[in-house]
């Protein structure tokens, strides 16, 4: 029988059962305390209870590190956006044991992330979280991450990638750049709009990757056919990209690294805060890639030329990024 009492401003639960070690835990609410007690007593009754005293120190941040190590031991690179997402999970749940993790904890994390990223980006991050837990092979009482994912899907809070056609409206670029000032996010916006590069590619960009004489940028891009799933690609250095990079270098000085923020997701997070501050609705940093590619076609570049810059392997993939303005087409023809 569970004993519930207040102690030091918290609700303490203690469960004593014959042939079971005493279980105790503290909560901030009586409802949460009773729910935990019911779950533990039910698992003791049906034989599914697990003694986690030996594994209480298995922490979420350690589980995330194990997943990253599982790739690195085979010299397989972890994509920048995925690594950034995993690091955010690691930082948020620092010091939390997998056995203490609750569905509510995971949903609160998802709510905080959804305020900064799209539904499809959150979906990827939650799937990375699930992958880390599954990779650990630790048997917990319940799969709280999967339960949280199921609830998020049911409420349509996380969704697969949707076809977006959001482009910059007149005046939005100037407002963004004025608000950014000398902050690095302004240079990230500039490079994104001129190059069509992905967020992770911009974050990883170094001056040593750029051959100004030959007009080429070396970028490590996804390729499922390549060893390790990545392939070093040579991308044309467009005039606008050259100028945007040089403007960025004027700020960072002689540093080889253009963007020194730790995680690539910091770019989209900062961009989201900027758009919120300015009241710009429904514009994500990834939308700038759509904008850049659409502008390339509007300037008269061919499909093959644009593919050489964007890195798309098929016309079907590329077509999702072509958002030509109907009014511009009407005015021209």
Domain, as residue range, for 229: 172-332
Residue where a domain terminates, one of 154, 180, 199: 154
One domain for residues 311 and 180:
yes
Q: Are residues 187 and 150 in the same domain?
A: no
pTM above 0.75, yes or no: no
Q: Do 87 and 222 fall within a single domain?
A: no
Please report whether residue 166 resides in a domain. Answer: no
- Examine the domain organization and report whether 222 and 320 are in the same domain: yes
d(CA 43, CA 55): 18
Same domain, 195 and 241: yes
Cβ neighbours, 10 Å, residue 24: 11
CATH of the domain at 299: 1.10.443.10
For residues 203 and 270, the answer to whether their CB atoms sit within 8 Å is: no
- Asked if residue 314 and residue 228 are part of one domain, the reply reads yes
Both 118 and 15 in one domain: the answer is: no
Residue 229 DSSP symbol: G
Per-residue pLDDT of the chain (333 residues; tens, 9 = 90+): 789 998 888 889 999 888 788 888 888 888 888 888 888 888 888 877 766 554 444 889 889 999 999 988 888 878 778 898 999 999 999 888 888 899 999 999 999 999 888 888 899 999 999 999 999 877 777 899 999 999 999 999 997 666 778 899 999 999 999 999 989 999 999 999 999 999 999 999 999 999 999 999 999 887 777 776 778 899 999 999 999 999 998 887 778 999 989 888 899 999 999 999 999 998 999 999 999 999 999 899 999 999 999 988 777 777 776 766 677 666 666
In this prediction, residue 51 carries a pLDDT of: 63
Q: Quick check: 232 and 222 in contact, CB under 8 A?
A: no
Instruction: Supply the pLDDT for residue 323.
Output: 67
Q: Is 225 within the bounds of a domain?
A: yes
Q: Does 160 reside within a domain?
A: no
Identify whether 245 is part of a domain.
yes
Sheet containing 230-236: order of strands: 210-211, 216-222, 230-236
- For residue 71, tell me if it sits in a domain: yes
Tokens 């008269």 found at: 300
Pick from 128, 139, 119, 53: which is nearest to 93 by CA? 128
Spatial strand order in the sheet of 2-7: 2-7, 10-15, 23-27
Residue 150 within a domain: yes
Distance, CA of 135 to CA of 239 (rounded, Å): 45
Indicate if 314 and 187 belong to the same structural domain. Answer: yes
Dmax over CA atoms of the chain, in Å, equals 84
Which residues lie closer than 8 Å to 151 by C-beta, 6 or more apart?
103, 107
Answer for the pair 193, 289: CB distance below 8 angstroms, yes or no.
no
Same domain? 213 vs 306? yes
Alpha-carbon separation of residue 55 from 100, 166, 244 (angstroms): 11, 48, 51
pLDDT of residue 56: 44
42/65 same-domain check? no
Judge whether 55 lies within some domain.
no
Same domain, 64 and 16: no
Cα 20 to Cα 38, 41, 45, 83, 171, distances in angstroms: 15, 11, 11, 41, 67
Residues 179 and 240 in one domain: yes
Domain count, the chain: 3
Q: Say if 167 falls within a structural domain.
A: no
Q: How many C-beta atoms lie closer than 10 Å to residue 155's C-beta?
A: 9
């Amino acid at each position: 029988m569970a004993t519930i009492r207040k102690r030091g401003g918290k609700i303490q639960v203690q469960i004593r059962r014959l042939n079971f070690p005493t279980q105790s835990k503290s909560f901030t609410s009586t409802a949460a305390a009773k729910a935990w007690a019911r779950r533990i007593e039910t698992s003791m009754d049906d034989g599914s209870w697990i003694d986690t005293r030996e594994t209480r120190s298995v922490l979420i941040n350690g589980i995330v590190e194990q997943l990253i190590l599982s790739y690195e031991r085979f010299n397989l690179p972890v994509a920048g956006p995925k690594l950034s997402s995993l690091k955010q999970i690691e930082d948020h749940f620092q010091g939390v044991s997998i056995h203490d993790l609750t569905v509510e904890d995971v949903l609160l994390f998802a709510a905080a992330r959804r305020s900064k990223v799209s539904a499809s980006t959150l979906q990827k991050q939650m799937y990375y979280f699930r992958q880390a837990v599954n990779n650990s092979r630790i048997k917990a009482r319940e799969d709280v991450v999967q339960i949280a994912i199921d609830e998020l899907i049911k409420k349509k809070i996380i969704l697969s990638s949707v076809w977006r056609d959001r482009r910059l409206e007149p005046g939005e670029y100037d407002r963004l750049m004025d608000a950014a000032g000398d902050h690095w996010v302004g240079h990230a916006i500039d490079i994104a709009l001129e190059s069509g590069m992905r967020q992770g590619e911009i974050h990883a960009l170094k001056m040593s990757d750029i051959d100004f004489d030959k007009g080429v940028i070396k970028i490590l891009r996804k390729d499922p056919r390549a060893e390790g799933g990545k392939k070093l690609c040579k991308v044309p250095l467009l005039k606008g990209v050259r100028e945007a990079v040089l403007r960025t270098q004027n700020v960072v000085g002689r540093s080889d690294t253009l963007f020194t923020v730790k995680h690539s997701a910091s770019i989209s997070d900062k961009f989201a805060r900027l758009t919120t501050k300015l009241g710009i609705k429904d514009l994500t940093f990834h939308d700038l890639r759509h904008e850049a590619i659409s502008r390339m076609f509007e300037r008269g570049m061919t499909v093959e030329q644009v593919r050489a810059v964007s890195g798309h392997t098929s016309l079907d993939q590329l077509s999702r990024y072509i958002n030509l303005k109907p009014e511009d087409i009407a005015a021209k023809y």
